[in-house]
Amino acid sequence: MTQLKGKHVVIGLGKTGLSCARFLTRLGCDVVVIDTRNEPPGKTDLVSELPHVPLLTGDLKQFDLTSAQELIVSPGISIRSAAIKKAINAGVPIAGDVELFARSVAAPVIAVTGSNGKSTVVTLVGKALEAAGYEVCVAGNIGLPVLDALSSAEEVDVWVLELSSFQLETTQSLRAKVAVNLNVSEDHMDRYDSLDDYAMAKQRIFEGCESAVYWLDDHRTKPIHAIGAMRPFGGSKVVHGRFHVEAFQTVPETNYIMDGSKKVMSVEDLKLSGAHNWLNIAAVLAILTEFGVDYQSCLETLKQYPGLRHRCQWVANIHGVNWYNDSKGTNVGAAISAITGLAGMVTGKLIWLAGGEGKGADFSELVQPVAAAVGLAILYGKDAEVLSSALQGEVSVEKVETLQQAVLLAKRHAEAGDVVLLSPACASFDQFKNYEDRGEQFIKLVKREASDHE
């Protein structure tokens, strides 16, 4: 068996593990990759590109990780697993791809975490900085591994990174110029002991940062240690951060993104829809300000941004019924944001499609917003029954097996003025490859229904 003594051991292949193996090999390190799966994703590329790098498969317990020089753990692998904990206790250093990136990068970093909204915010920040004349690279949890980005980017003035709690667990040296925690709501409860445990992983983003941006309405997003510059966003009309959303009693009522007491823009000027996205814009303005950019030069870019695919994405209008794809809503907080964000736009009833792999989440937080805004919940997938139990008596519920059945049932119930929203509050892995696959399947189903009515 391949010896691990003195080796840089990458645990977990996939896109991230492969990027780590490439990066470490270029540095001249002696690399071994371990994966618990016999045929891990990325195996073909590893064998083709790095034929000299051994790939070991099987349960981690069979490997003596305590003899490694360093463990580089992919986000999908828990550092609390017995074999990894044993190595940590033996003094073996642990890192992830973001830690390797942080040791190597010179340009300033804007780092963004949060349970929801990360992808939208980093995309908006990247586009705004480009409009202001910066060479920007957006990478991380949004899909481009940071080490692949570091290896391929030529000149970067600023890095904008989306970071998950899993990535932050193995990051010690980031020291971002601006660190951001957008919100904390239940997610990955199959990996954390509690919501506070999960929130503490998010707190790591603030370590060594120059400036912190956090949501005033969520105490778990505020840095627990003193930081030189702290910029809250959001809040109420009475108590709020510099950048916030405020409603003005006009006819009809109009919401504005505010800079203190100054109106920056009406939400009617935005292509993005939903109250959660208005708050995302406020966060972006706070980030740009902390980075030292005059946001005025970026406003048109922010106004014109249409939103991410699979995130409250309008799909079609069929006989007066608007269909929205929020497949990226893989947790309770994301579903609440989508429901409350669209509720004000519904003239009829809101039909909500949800279900999948619940990841051990507490669905009780959905009760109040669902009872207030949803006319019919159609639940499908592995944890439909769990979700149904949480909502019992609060909203009309119907259960089916598959997303296709849910779409057909929604079509039968929907009338002109209604909105049908897919925002599953669950992971997709019970029936789909990932949330993108789920979203694309939903779009196809809706488009098929639309074509049948032409």
Is residue 141 annotated as a catalytic residue, yes or no?
yes
- Where in the sequence of the chain do the CATH 3.40.50.720 domains occur? 8-95
CATH number listed for the domain at residues 100-304: 3.40.1190.10
Using alpha carbons, select from 352, 320, 330, 327 the residue that is nearest to residue 339.
352
Per-residue model confidence as pLDDT tens digits over 191-239 = 999 999 999 999 999 999 999 999 999 999 999 999 999 999 999 888 9
Residue 129 pLDDT more than 60? yes
Instruction: Write down the catalytic residue from 116, 141, 181, 277.
Output: 141
CB atoms within 10 A of CB 221: 27
CB–CB of 350/374 below 8 Å? yes
In terms of CATH architecture, what is 8-95?
3-Layer(aba) Sandwich (3.40)
Contacts of 190 (CB under 8 A, 6+ apart): 359, 360
Residue 448 pLDDT more than 60? yes
Torsion of CA 293, 218, 374, 361, to 10 degrees: 120
Instruction: Write down the catalytic residue from 188, 202, 310, 359.
Output: 188
pLDDT band at 252 (very low <50, low <70, confident <90, very high): confident
Is residue 118 annotated as a catalytic residue, yes or no?
yes
Considering the chain, what is the average pLDDT of its residues? 95
* Alpha-carbon span 280 to 121, nearest angstrom: 6
Instruction: Write down the catalytic residue from 43, 118, 202, 310.
Output: 118
Using alpha carbons, select from 23, 248, 253 the residue that is nearest to residue 149.
23
Tell me the Cα Rg of the chain: 23
Could you say which of 3.90.1300.10, 3.30.70.980, 3.90.190.20, 3.40.47.10 is the CATH number of the domain covering 313-452?
Answer: 3.90.190.20
Residue 2 pLDDT more than 70? no
Tokens of residue 439, six digits: 């979203």
Reduce the secondary structure of 257-296 to three states and give it as a string: EEECCEEEEEHHHCCCCCHHHHHHHHHHHHHHHHHCCCHH
Per-residue model confidence as pLDDT tens digits over 238-250 = 899 999 999 997 7
**pTM, entire model:** 0.86
Contacts of 435 (CB under 8 A, 6+ apart): 310, 327, 328, 330, 427, 428
Residue 452 pLDDT more than 80? no
- Where in the sequence of the chain do the CATH 3.40.1190.10 domains occur? 100-304
In this prediction, residue 140 carries a pLDDT of: 97
Per-residue model confidence as pLDDT tens digits over 254-291 = 999 999 999 999 999 998 888 889 999 999 999 999 99
- Where in the sequence of the chain do the CATH 3.90.190.20 domains occur? 313-452
* DSSP secondary structure letter of residue 111: E
Per-residue model confidence as pLDDT tens digits over 159-199 = 999 999 999 999 999 999 999 999 999 888 889 999 999 99
Per-residue model confidence as pLDDT tens digits over 25-68 = 999 999 999 999 999 999 999 999 999 999 999 999 999 999 99
